[in-house]
């Protein structure tokens, strides 16, 4: 069995990936998933720069609950044996200019989007995390522990 600290470390590596699948709830109550670019804030919580015009943004205005899937399986012959992390929580505005600077530093093209009136920076405030670190290595992680600097 893996050391729980190894699970936290593996999850934090995945949180630094630059893209994720964002799951929101559409008006009918059905899941809606889209690809988004992500960056990590100082606590490693995901930042997203989203257009008000996008379907996922419309969904989030109705219901802030969301999930993000970070997929670390690129290049594997058998992707289902590779690492991935699902975060569940609520998306909220991230008005701190330092967060936007972190986002733009990771996504240079985003500097132009950030100047457009319909783009806003958001943060997923995690309430739960599910890690699949490889075949047979699966764990629910405590969201507080995942984002704590003490672990």
pLDDT of 44 reads: 93
User: How far is the C-alpha of 5 from the C-alpha of 97, rounded, in Å?
Assistant: 32
Query: Which domains are present in the chain?
Result: 4-146 (2.30.110.10)
DSSP category for residue 41: -
116-129 average pLDDT score: 95
134 or 78, which is more confident: 78
2: pLDDT strictly greater than 70 = no
149: pLDDT strictly greater than 80 = no
Degrees to nearest 5, angle at CA 130 with 128 and 135? 170
Q: What is the pTM of this model?
A: 0.92
135-145 average pLDDT score: 90
User: How far is the C-alpha of 133 from the C-alpha of 122, rounded, in Å?
Assistant: 27
pLDDT digits (tens, 9 = 90+) for 67-122: 999 999 999 999 988 999 999 999 999 999 999 999 999 999 998 988 888 999 99
Choose among 25, 8, 33: nearest CA to 85: 8
């Amino acid at each position: 069995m893996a050391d729980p600290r190894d699970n936290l470390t593996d999850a934090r590596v995945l949180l630094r990936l630059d893209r994720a699948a964002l799951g929101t709830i559409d008006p009918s109550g059905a899941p809606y998933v889209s690809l988004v670019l992500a960056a990590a804030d100082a606590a490693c919580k995901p930042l997203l720069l989203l257009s008000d015009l996008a379907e996922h943004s419309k969904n989030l205005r109705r219901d802030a609950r969301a999930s993000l899937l970070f997929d670390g399986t690129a290049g594997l012959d058998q992707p289902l044996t590779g690492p991935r992390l699902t975060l569940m929580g609520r998306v909220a505005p991230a008005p701190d200019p330092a967060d936007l600077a972190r986002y733009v530093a990771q996504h240079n093209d985003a500097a132009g989007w950030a100047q457009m009136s319909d783009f806003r920076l958001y943060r997923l405030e995690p309430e739960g995390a599910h890690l699949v670190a490889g075949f047979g290595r699966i764990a629910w992680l405590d969201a507080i522990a995942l984002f704590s600097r003490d672990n």
